[in-house]
Structure 1
Amino acid sequence: MSKSNAPAPTPMPAWLPRAIAVALVLTAVFEMTVWAARQLVGLGVLLLVSFFLSMVMEPAVSRLQARGMGRAAATLLVFAVTVASLAGFATAVLTLLIDQTAEVSHRLPALLATFVERINDTFGTSLTTDRLTDDTGTVETYARQAADHLWGLSTTVVGGVFDLLTVGLFAYYFTADGPRLRRSALSLLPPQRQPAAHRAWTVALAKTGGYMYSRALLALFSTLAHTVAFMVLGIPYPVALGIWVGVISQFVPTVGTYVAAALPTLVALTVEPMDALWVIVFATAYQQVENYALQPRITARTVDVHPAVAFGSVLAGAALLGAVGAIIAIPTTATLQALAAAYLPRYKVAPALDSTGNPPEDRPM
């Protein structure tokens, strides 16, 4: 067969180079978007925390504004009270931890000797405190490691302070400019959808503020009760420990009660081991009183979320956003629940189904 009869090569389609170029550009844009999103995750979390704090402060600011105070002045007052409360709590806890650490360090040799003596009496061993503490190299190693990590620790502290200032600044502006932000957000929606969006925003404010205020009231009751109990037991720093238990038990979801009781239990162990048992007993008894007497009445008008739903929402929030998600999970769930109750249709259940849980034909004869 002659070469002149060979089929001509198929030319490249005119659209292929352009399609390849578009695909490369889209891939680059996608990669840059993913990279930017990862870099901005931290800022997004800070903005979310700031927005949540602004929603917490919004009801108080609105009440002060309704009484004649300017929006900026009301925001500044509420913000100052919030910061002062947080600073007071941090100061009380840090003072307690520093003093108790010094006390434990001072009493550690005697406590260790008592512990070794009880082990020897119980198990028939011949341990001595010298055998347990003669390895001075371990202490030196820890000291060198602490010195090596001092720069990293200082960097973390500086970063944490910067994050707190960032959250405070954004929270103040979100609260002070709350009405203008709402108008700007509503202006992006068609007029027929604006009432529903405004209602959703109002419900979110009410549920978030109600949740935090109910938690604050429960924290106050818990603080007073535990402070009195610690005074009766003669435990050191009863006020600081009472504040610790009240705040941690109410604002740390799910495990707050157990975390809160751990510190006063450890402090009681340094004074009288039997007092630690009484601390656990009182904390457990008070928790039952709170669950069945105080919490239902206080949260009835603010946040009404089933315990199982609240627990699941906390787990989901923690899985998505860590500690921040766990804290905002319950008010978010309460907001969604309120919106669902307002907009989703509900129908009356037939009496037969409501009483037995089975259709009439499935009921036992």
Structure 2
Amino acid sequence: MPRWLHRAFLLALALVACFEFAHWVFDRLVGLLVNVLVSFFAAVAIEPAVAWMARRGMRRGLATGLVMLAVAVAGGGFLLAVGSLLVDQVTSIGHNLPADVNKVVVWVNRNFHTDIHTGDLRNKVLHSGWLRSHLLNGAGSVVGISTTVIGTVFRIFTVLLFTFYLAADGPRLRRELCSILPPARQAEALRAWDIAVVKTGGYLYSRALLAVISGVAHYILLQLLGVPFAPALGVWVGLVSQFIPTVGTYLAGALPILIAFTEDPWDALWVLIFVVVYQQFENYLLQPRITARTVEIHPAVAFGSVIAGTALLGVVGALIAIPATATLQGFFAAYVRRYEVTDPRPE
């Protein structure tokens, strides 16, 4: 046997051991890495507001706390509005359920010549083995649900903590990172950081402004038509239509149309017409003016980025997909040289 074979064999074993150890460490730390990634994009998103307040004499820590508090209040308002709408609908369904069941039983007895009694049907459901087994399974899963809720709360606080420190100590963090680079590379690193801040923050702020305008416009219409839950529906339409690409407009408009239809079909028709007309107004007039100074992402690219982010990181990937795409698009626009097309044919 050649003398180098033993060393090659030991080197191969060492490489395999290092790979397995790295894989084990990555599996244990992937949750932390995802939290840091989400925190980075969140810190980049609030950086323009924090920097604006810091330039006017406010300490960065206090400015970061105020911006995060404003975002938390806005998110809590959205959850409260949608939650109140959901709770009211569930309560209404529960209140009307006995009468609806009686109507169904009467219709079945009349059309199929049966003799079903509502009381007998209720007793069979309440004393059935299916309901008993379903309740036992639900009781057994309470511990798992509680563990999931606690883990989610801990993860949210972890993201908030990292976001606060990344935003509050942004300038010092940039200096620490640039200190390990040679002077020739420091300017490029700072430029890349500035592009990420400008494009990500600008995109999110433009979408937030569009969400406010859309929510107010739809709220006014729903209030004039007398559609119930107009404030909650306005918040729903504004946020969902702007922060869910491509299909968000249809998801946002479907709920107010459905609720309006339960009140009056003509109201639902007016809501549908307004949704279509407003979408055209936003696409061709409002959105180009607001996003002219930030970044414009093609709907197909945005939709594809969300699908890719969901496939990679699930719900978290879907949330950070568009900010990441906006940042990458900003990098390409800054570093990729473009040339004028000499093709004389019209588009």
* Between 284-293 and 94-103, the greater mean CA deviation after superposition: 284-293
Q: Deviations over 1:237-262 (max 9, x none)?
A: 21122112211221223332233334
Q: Which has the higher contact order (CA 8 A, sep 6+)?
A: 2
8 Å Cα contact 2:218-2:237 kept in structure 1:
yes
State which of 284, 287, 301 in structure 1 corresponds to 2:276.
284
Match of 1:329 in 2: 321
Match of 1:54 in 2: 43
8 Å Cα contact 2:36-2:159 kept in structure 1:
yes
Deviation at 1:59, TM superposition (A): 0.2
Structure 1 residues 114, 202: CA separation in 2 closer, same or farther (over 3 Å shift)? farther
Deviation at 1:172, TM superposition (A): 0.3
Match of 1:96 in 2: 85
8 Å Cα contact 1:50-1:167 kept in structure 2:
yes
Q: Does 1:354 align with 2:344?
A: yes
Q: Distance in 2 between matches of 1:302 and 1:234?
A: 37
Structure 1 residues 266, 151: CA separation in 2 closer, same or farther (over 3 Å shift)? farther
8 Å Cα contact 2:310-2:318 kept in structure 1:
yes
Match of 2:11 in 1: 22
Deviation at 1:264, TM superposition (A): 3.4
Q: Distance in 2 between matches of 1:229 and 1:205?
A: 36
8 Å Cα contact 1:104-1:270 kept in structure 2:
no
Q: Distance in 2 between matches of 1:111 and 1:338?
A: 56
8 Å Cα contact 2:47-2:201 kept in structure 1:
yes
Structure 1 residues 118, 56: CA separation in 2 closer, same or farther (over 3 Å shift)? farther
Q: Deviations over 1:91-115 (max 9, x none)?
A: 2222222222111111123345567
Aligned residue for 1:300, secondary structure, equals helix
Deviation at 1:275, TM superposition (A): 4.5
1:179-190 correspondence runs (5 A): 179-190=171-182
Q: Deviations over 1:42-69 (max 9, x none)?
A: 1111111111110011000100011111
8 Å Cα contact 1:303-1:331 kept in structure 2:
no
Deviation at 1:272, TM superposition (A): 4.7
AA paired with 1:185?
A: L
State which of 191, 197, 211 in structure 1 corresponds to 2:203.
211
Match of 2:189 in 1: 197
8 Å Cα contact 2:199-2:327 kept in structure 1:
yes
* Between 287-296 and 160-169, the greater mean CA deviation after superposition: 287-296
Q: Distance in 2 between matches of 1:148 and 1:208?
A: 44
Q: Distance in 2 between matches of 1:32 and 1:318?
A: 27
AA paired with 1:108?
A: L
State which of 274, 298, 313 in structure 1 corresponds to 2:290.
298
8 Å Cα contact 1:112-1:129 kept in structure 2:
no
Structure 1 residues 189, 271: CA separation in 2 closer, same or farther (over 3 Å shift)? same
Deviation at 1:331, TM superposition (A): 2.9
Q: Distance in 2 between matches of 1:40 and 1:52?
A: 19
Q: Deviations over 1:219-276 (max 9, x none)?
A: 1012112222222332322112211221122122333223333443454455456655
The structure having more radius of gyration, on CA atoms, is 1
8 Å Cα contact 2:47-2:197 kept in structure 1:
yes
What residue ranges of structure 2 are gaps of 5+ in the alignment?
none
Aligned residue for 2:57, secondary structure, equals coil
Q: Distance in 2 between matches of 1:142 and 1:263?
A: 30
Structure 1 residues 88, 30: CA separation in 2 closer, same or farther (over 3 Å shift)? same
Structure 1 residues 119, 347: CA separation in 2 closer, same or farther (over 3 Å shift)? farther
Q: Distance in 1 between matches of 2:13 and 2:168?
A: 45
Identical columns (%): 52
1:1-365 correspondence runs (5 A): 12-112=1-101, 130=118, 135-136=125-126, 137=128, 138-268=130-260, 271-272=263-264, 275-350=267-342, 353-356=343-346
Deviation at 1:33, TM superposition (A): 0.8
Q: So what's the TM-score if we normalise by structure 1?
A: 0.83
* Between 66-75 and 202-211, the greater mean CA deviation after superposition: 66-75
Deviation at 1:81, TM superposition (A): 1.2
Aligned residue for 2:345, secondary structure, equals helix
Q: Deviations over 1:145-200 (max 9, x none)?
A: 32222111111111111111001000000000101111122222221122122111
Q: So what's the TM-score if we normalise by structure 2?
A: 0.87
Structure 1 residues 195, 140: CA separation in 2 closer, same or farther (over 3 Å shift)? same
Deviation at 1:41, TM superposition (A): 1.6
* Between 196-205 and 184-193, the greater mean CA deviation after superposition: 184-193
AA paired with 2:274?
A: F
Aligned residue for 1:40, secondary structure, equals helix
Structure 1 residues 222, 185: CA separation in 2 closer, same or farther (over 3 Å shift)? same
